[in-house]
Chains A and B, each alone.
Chain A
Amino acid sequence: MTKETITLTVNGQTVETRAEPRELLIHVLREQLEITGPHIGCETSHCGACTVDIDGRSVKSCTMFAIQAQGAEITTIEGLGNPDKLHVLQEKFKEHHGLQCGFCTPGMITRAHRLLKENPNPTEEEVRMGIAGNLCRCTGYQNIVKSIMAAAAELNQPETAA
């Protein structure tokens, strides 16, 4: 089968790549576009380490063919913040020890980002249900939930003049 041209907007940049229809989005992101924030954990749609945001939905990018994302707007952890300017969620994960080995963290934060967009003021229960598709093998959920709650609280604070 021949490769097809796929156009994506990833983290605000329009990119064009070529892939066979059978190539999964996670592989195209990591291997062709060198966006290695989304991780390959289980490859079986369970762990959520490969979570990216596609047109406003959290998606496990190991369970979508890249060609299905044709024309889509994709945000990965790289698009949320960078070492010089961390996203609030990244700040709070740092502050509240929301990561241990860090492998699940890009997926956790990308998922939490969408969760807080949809539900800016979640209860702890809603946070737990909202990240139910992301597994942490260090089992550090307590602090992950704390970090997300803290980020929600900060994002909900009224803007104050500097």
Chain B
Amino acid sequence: MIPGRFEYHQPDSLAAAVGLLSELGEDARVIAGGHSLIPMMKLRLAMPEHLVDLKAIDTLKHINVADGVVRIGAMTTQAELIGSAELQLAAPIVKETSLQIADPQIRYQGTIGGNVANGDPGNDMPALMQALDASFTLHGPGGARDVKARDFYEAAYFTARDDLEILTEVSFPTCTGGYAYEKQKRKIGDYATAAAAVLLTKAADGSCSHAAIALTNLADTPVFCDAASTHLMQSGVSADSIAHAVQSCISDIEPVEDNRGPAEFKKHAAAIILKRSLETAWSRA
């Protein structure tokens, strides 16, 4: 499989990359780890005339934790997320999720920026970012702006990012309560049949002071389950409230039939992983 012809650019600063995108316009695509884009180019489902590779921009590679906020540069790889002791302390759910993405080779290349910016409903990071209430920083010709992960996804492969913008950083509050990322997949390397990111914080009196649930690959965007999260905070965590929350989440999703199974099966799988992830998160809270 040979991709179509393109011209390759490797700017060494963010300003240069933004300038290139503005100059080249819609004929250009940004490439990060390349493990979504290159397969599409090999199939010629993507035929950009210019590739702007972000790999040489060092300011996009960092994991910083300060003042209760985690900031991760877009070109940080999943392997680097897994290996970061600082991140493990600040938000252990990131490692748990990253380890369930694809396989080791792909995690050395795949980046957090590419995973969240691509808009593929099968990507795992978008739901995680919605659960964490993350913000994405976008740099374009007009400067920088932040968009909430919960507002970023419009439809499959359609996001709030403008074509001339580059997603440069994700940031979210540190998160040390109970957590779980549970993913049902046919085999290692596959996208989720159903996956859930869950955060639950237990207050000193045993009530649930914070809850956030978001789902992967069960609609054409990640799904943040607002009603279910609110329900757990209002009624506390019990077998009854978990059952109620699971039903509420299932009513939020719109899975479609594909080679992972019919929609009804996906709802069934989603209910199982939701129950499991809520119980696991609460046991760790």
Contacts and interface: CB of A to CB of B under 8 A. Distances in A.
A126 to B, nearest CB: 11
A132 B100 CA distance: 11
Contacts of B103: 48, 132-133
A130 B104 contact: yes
Nearest to B7: A1
Interface in A25-81: 43-46, 48, 51, 57-60, 63-65, 67-68, 70
B4 A60 contact: no
A94 interface: no
Contact of A64 (B1, B4, B38): B38
B105 A48 contact: yes
A46 B38 contact: no
Contact of B106 (A115, A130, A133): A133
A17 to B, nearest CB: 15
Contact of A133 (B38, B51, B53, B102): B102
B38 A51 contact: no
A20 interface: yes
B109 interface: yes
B109 A59 contact: yes
A111 B104 contact: yes
A133 B6 contact: no
A132 B6 contact: no
Contacts of A48: 103, 105
Interface residues on B, range: 20 to 34
Contact of A58 (B10, B42, B105): B105
A108 to B, nearest CB: 12
Interface residues on A, range: 20 to 34
A57 B79 contact: yes
B60 to A, nearest CB: 16
B195 to A, nearest CB: 17
B5 A1 contact: yes
B34 A64 contact: yes
A133 B78 CA distance: 15
A21 interface: yes
B104 A68 contact: no
Contacts of A154: none
B34 A43 contact: no
Contact of B105 (A24, A60, A65): A60
B105 A22 contact: no
A16 interface: no
Contact of B34 (A57, A58, A68): A68
Contacts of A70: 10
Contacts of B38: 24, 45, 63-65
Nearest to A107: B105
Contact of B188 (A44, A59, A111, A132): A132
A83 B251 CA distance: 61
A23 B6 CA distance: 10
Interface string B43-60: 000000001010100000
A4 B7 CA distance: 10
Contacts of A24: 2-3, 38, 42
B82 to A, nearest CB: 11
Contacts of B102: 133
Contacts of B105: 48, 51, 58-60, 111, 133
A22 B104 contact: no
B261 interface: no
B202 to A, nearest CB: 30
B115 to A, nearest CB: 15
A63 B35 contact: yes
B120 to A, nearest CB: 14
A21 B8 contact: yes
Nearest to A115: B104
B25 interface: no
Given A21-B7, A133-B102, 14 more contacts: A21-B6, A21-B8, A21-B51, A22-B2, A24-B3, A43-B1, A46-B189, A58-B104, A59-B108, A63-B106, A63-B109, A68-B55, A133-B105, A133-B106
